[in-house]
Amino acid sequence: MENRKNTILLTVIAVATLLVAVVGATFAYFTAQGGQQVQTPVNVQTANTSNGSFVTNGSISINANQENFYEGAGDQKSTATATVTYTASSTSASDFCYTVGLQVTTNNFEYTTDGSTPELTFTARKSANAADLTSATTMINQRDITTTTASTLIQVPNTAEGSDFTHKISAGQGATINDQWDFTVTLVNLDSDQNANTGKSLTGQIVFDQVECE
């Protein structure tokens, strides 16, 4: 009888120990899993806001060397394109205003024939509210930038060779409007002795800034 009691007691203890072990292991497993942080990207879209963006493709860079710049070699061109996109809010029409220009970062070119014949020129064209540049308007046409100093910002007007530099996009309620741009810097080959500009370079970047609409 005593042995039977001992057997029952040992069995109860063994079962209890097993339960404790199982519960402990289960708790440890879920605690470890719960401690792992899983980050899920969340895209938040607010219907009552408007937004604008600037996307530029390409950079401006002209390098004159003996292989590409000699009498009869033809002009060198460096181009960049850009898109300005504006989406009005779903509640009302609105305007978006910005400035754009060529920020010259390096330029050591010089005049080689006289002090006024362009050897570097800059052209900027805009196609307002269109998906391409087939109807583009030339805002700056082959402007002489031969000796433009580094750190100079050549701002582009909103009319051909005008003096107002604020560009405006007007979008209807919930509509998306684009301005398309292209920019060209040309190293003009004059078919004359331009050896003084061999080894010279110009670099620059297209810069946009949002401004308040008046």
Using one digit for the tens of pLDDT, what is the confidence trace for 40-61?
Answer: 233 333 456 889 999 999 889 9
* pTM for this prediction: 0.76
User: For a pLDDT cut of 70, what percent of the chain falls above it?
Assistant: 77
Q: Does pLDDT of 12 surpass 60?
A: no
Least confident of 27-36, 39-48, 72-81: 27-36
Q: Does pLDDT of 30 surpass 60?
A: no
Using one digit for the tens of pLDDT, what is the confidence trace for 113-156?
Answer: 999 999 999 999 999 867 677 889 999 999 999 999 999 999 99
Judged on CB neighbours under 10 Å (0-12, 13-18, 19+), 202 is: buried
Residue with tokens 């004159």: 64
- Comparing 28 with 154, which gets the higher pLDDT? 154
pLDDT, averaged across the chain: 81
- Comparing 11 with 110, which gets the higher pLDDT? 110
Q: Which of 143, 135, 51 shows the shortest CA–CA distance to 98?
A: 51
pLDDT-based confidence at 170, cuts 50/70/90? very high
Q: Does pLDDT of 13 surpass 80?
A: no
**Cβ 99 vs Cβ 155: under 8 Å:** yes
Alpha-carbon span 124 to 200, nearest angstrom:
23
Q: Does pLDDT of 29 surpass 50?
A: no
Mean pLDDT of 18-35: 32
Q: Does pLDDT of 98 surpass 70?
A: yes
Least confident of 5-19, 67-81, 117-131: 5-19
Q: Does pLDDT of 21 surpass 60?
A: no
pLDDT score of 48:
61
Using one digit for the tens of pLDDT, what is the confidence trace for 172-189?
Answer: 999 999 999 999 999 999
Judged on CB neighbours under 10 Å (0-12, 13-18, 19+), 89 is: middle
Domain layout of the chain by residue ranges: 1-36, 51-211
- Comparing 114 with 20, which gets the higher pLDDT? 114
H or E segment to which residue 90 belongs: none
pLDDT score of 2:
45
